[in-house]
Structure 1
Amino acid sequence: MSRLSSSSYTFPLWTLILCSAFLIAPVQGEVVVIGSNLPIIASPGDDVILPCQLVPMFDVQGLTVEWSKPDLKPDPSDRLSRVEYVHLYRDRKEVPDMKMASYFRRTELFMDDMKHGNISLKILNVSEEDNGRYRCFIPKLRSRVKAAVVELVVDPNVAKTSTMAPLHPRNFPTPDPQDTTPTNGRSRVPVVVIVVTLLLVLTLAGFAAYFSRIFQKLKVRNKQTNTNMFFLLVPLD
């Protein structure tokens, strides 16, 4: 009896381990958007690159990419007003009609590198008016982290230098919750995983108890059957 009980509960344990691995793996291996941990510092007149990359590399040529300034808010007195984009990429091309006038013909993406997940933004001839935080966002990316924020500091006291850093994915920092802008559901993910895991444990425990009772009943029934057969086969004196 103890051997049967032990084996019946060993199976759910291994099943739980395998199912937990499947639950955790997509979270660990999902594509996330990352930016720069440090501000991009430039002097007026510089051409700069605001780094933004998908890790691991993922082709975003067919997705919408939005660059905006999150600190700019629409006019509350005008319900029809909207915050325009610094740069908008949609349907595999730039959409200049929806960008801010001050960035017209001054921004561009690295089109050839988008197939590798590079959505960094190049801004030409920066000025102090370009200071602030910039947000790169992929609205239809199936990920908990669809956006990242990069800060640009244009300081006239900084010597004029080139900010054209190599755009290889190894040059990007690892994702940091303080440097990414998560979706509204991100904070719920650990709770969902815990709830699903608990439900899975309870379900497996129920199945284990159910099958254990069935096996015990079958064992008792087989024992009774064997006993009856024994008496039937034994010749009477």
Structure 2
Amino acid sequence: MSKPVVAITGPQKGAFGPRFLVACAVRWYGATPLQVRPGDDWQQLRYDAVVVTGGHDIDPVLYAAEPEVHPKYDPERDALEAAVIDDALNTGLPLLGICRGAQLLNARRGGNLFQELKSHRKMTSNRWTVLPLKTLKVAADSHLCKLMRADNCRINSLHNQAIDRAGDGLVVTGRDLDGIVQAIEDPSRPFLVGVQWHPEFLIFSPRQRRLFGALIEAAEERRPTKP
């Protein structure tokens, strides 16, 4: 049987590092990465799972909010990834949203975001770092807890926005020490997970790699078997 294919969405240009590392994690577990960019005819592509990578903040119009800050938006990417997420939700494809990907997944399910986090932080730093310097508190009996094999671990932080109200069917399964949402999942699905940190920068850690392994396992179980 052919290998499962994992679509990796991202911007038209740049983000080489995160894309490359996600692709490495996908190959690690025996799947084939497929890079998908704005302008691609994604409806003609065939894939078995999706990773929506991090990047620029999403336009607040996507969760019916007025802009409170004015970062750089990427409307073409927003449109592509919103369509890919909606398709995955409608067809049951396994999906992992990373950072902005988790935020957009939440928005597509009707949730909203905090547009800035500095004022919400008391115990944690607002400094961005790829190093695992922040503490993740994981909800017991969640899919994430089973993957992490612990109720807390260390994560990195590369975001200035985060999930406020979880969308329909999504459960908050991870928070940092300030209570800021770090992970969401849909317990009714084999694999529908969003994480606010960047596990691709931590693939030296087995517990971080298991996020990608579980995604691909769900994709393999969903694929038709040979008669």
TM-score (norm 1): 0.24
TM-score (norm 2): 0.25
Kindly indicate which of the two structures has a greater share of residues assigned to helix: 1
Higher RCO (C-alpha 8 Å, min separation 6) = 1
Kindly indicate which of the two structures has a greater share of residues assigned to strand: 2
